[in-house]
Amino acid sequence: MPVGDYCQRDVRTIDATDTLRSAAKRMAEEGVGSLVVLQGRQPRGILTDRDVALRVLREGLDPDATPVLDAIGGDPIVIHETTPLRAAAALMRRCAIRRVPVVDARESLVGVITSDDLLRLIAAELSGIAGAVAAQAPAGTAGAAPEPGTGPEVE
Amino acid sequence: MRTRDYYQTEVVTAPLDATATDLAERMGDYAVGSVVIVDAQRRPVGIVTDRDLTCRAIAREAVPGQVRAADLMSQPLVTANADEPVERIVERMRTAAVRRVVVLRDGRLAGLVSLDDLVVELGRELDDLGEAARRAVQTSRRRGERERRRAEFEETIAELRASVERVGRDVVDFVTREYEALRDRVKRTSGSSGEQGPKSGS
């Protein structure tokens, strides 16, 4: 299950030199919580609505003079489209982030994978598993104790 | 599963006249994404998220020190009772398209339950389930191993018994043969002496 098959391809982006004010307006108009910051075709990071709020209102950055590149972290965290989904979850955990830009072999942006996407996939899998469990239970015994000798022993 | 098992009881609050700057400071200081706005009687009346600050204050070019919580907050609050089943809260989050629900007890602010809290809790439960499944598999593997060993042992014992019997039969056969051979010899010996008989004087 490569990330590239499951990421969102319709991604809102913003140029690294655009201001925080224009980012805020884009977020409000387009109803999104984050924008991928691009330099050319290459992602330099992700700017969230929270970043904008705290940088401007708490740290006092001038929203009309600060380029978005100055409001995001240093080294961009990206994931290649061929990477397995499991590794995406591990990366999010390790870096404590919820959104990762997905890139191709030339490091160009192809999409974004979010923890919500992964959650949806897990939920679908779980629902499949729950269906299999329900199908195996004889009618009317869902949740009942297994018959003697059929359940796993507990030591 | 009741909501009271999931919500956080420490909720960051602010009065209706808190400015956008005050709210951002609270969000940063307490590392939260939302502040519950309370009236003079400390009754919860609205909520402001970090997103609201960006979309309703910064995007609209409001002056941060002048725009107030009352202008920025979302109303009416999506609320839950502490004793409600958690499934109903999830349903309410879905229909209202919100990620946070304010928990009330007797009409007063008791806590806040977020979708993230529920995911964390669900993750823990899934983790427990996964561990239970792993142990069950291990146990049944161990049981399978024990049964296989027992079967092997019984097979060995059967083989051993068979070979003991075979050896025993061989020994009996040997002894029988030896005995019969001895008897024949004895018979022959006594027979020939009989034929020879007492010698007449010659």
Q: Could A155 and B64 be called an inter-chain contact, meaning their C-beta atoms sit closer than 8 Å? A: no
What is the tally of structural domains in chain B? 1
Distance CA A113, CA A29 (A): 22
B180 vs chain A: nearest CA distance in angstroms?
58
By residue range, what is the domain housing residue B49?
3-113
Interface test with B, best of A58, A62, A93 (most B CBs within 10 A): A58
Q: What ipTM was reported for this prediction? A: 0.79
- B118 is a domain residue: no
Which chain A residue shows the shortest CA-CA distance from B119?
A119
Q: Which residues in A144-154 are b (16+ Cβ under 10 Å) and which e?
A: eeeeeeeeeee
B106 vs chain A: nearest CA distance in angstroms?
33
- B60 is a domain residue: yes
Which chain A residue shows the shortest CA-CA distance from B60?
A25
Q: Is the dihedral of CA B167, B170, B172, B175 positive or negative?
A: negative
Which chain B residue shows the shortest CA-CA distance from A23?
B59
**Chain B residues with beta carbon closer than 8 angstroms to that of A153:** 139-140, 143
| Domain A3-119 coded CATH 3.10.580.10 | yes
Six-digit token string for B72: 């920025």
**Phi/psi at A2 (5° precision):** -75, 145
Please name the member of A53, A63, A126 whose beta carbon is closest to the beta carbon of B50.
Answer: A53
Q: Could B24 and A153 be called an inter-chain contact, meaning their C-beta atoms sit closer than 8 Å? A: no
Six-digit token string for A53: 């709020």
Which chain A residue shows the shortest CA-CA distance from B120?
A119
Stretches where chain A sits below pLDDT 50 are: 147, 151, 153-155
pTM, two decimal places: 0.72
pLDDT of the residue at B200: 47
- The residue ranges of every structural domain in chain A are 3-119
- B46 is a domain residue: yes
A23 vs chain B: nearest CA distance in angstroms?
8
Return per-residue pLDDT of chain B as tens, 202 residues.
666 677 888 899 999 999 999 999 999 999 999 999 999 998 999 999 999 999 999 999 999 999 999 999 998 899 999 888 888 998 999 999 999 999 998 888 999 999 888 888 888 888 888 888 888 888 888 989 899 999 998 898 888 888 888 888 888 888 888 888 888 888 888 766 544 444 444 4
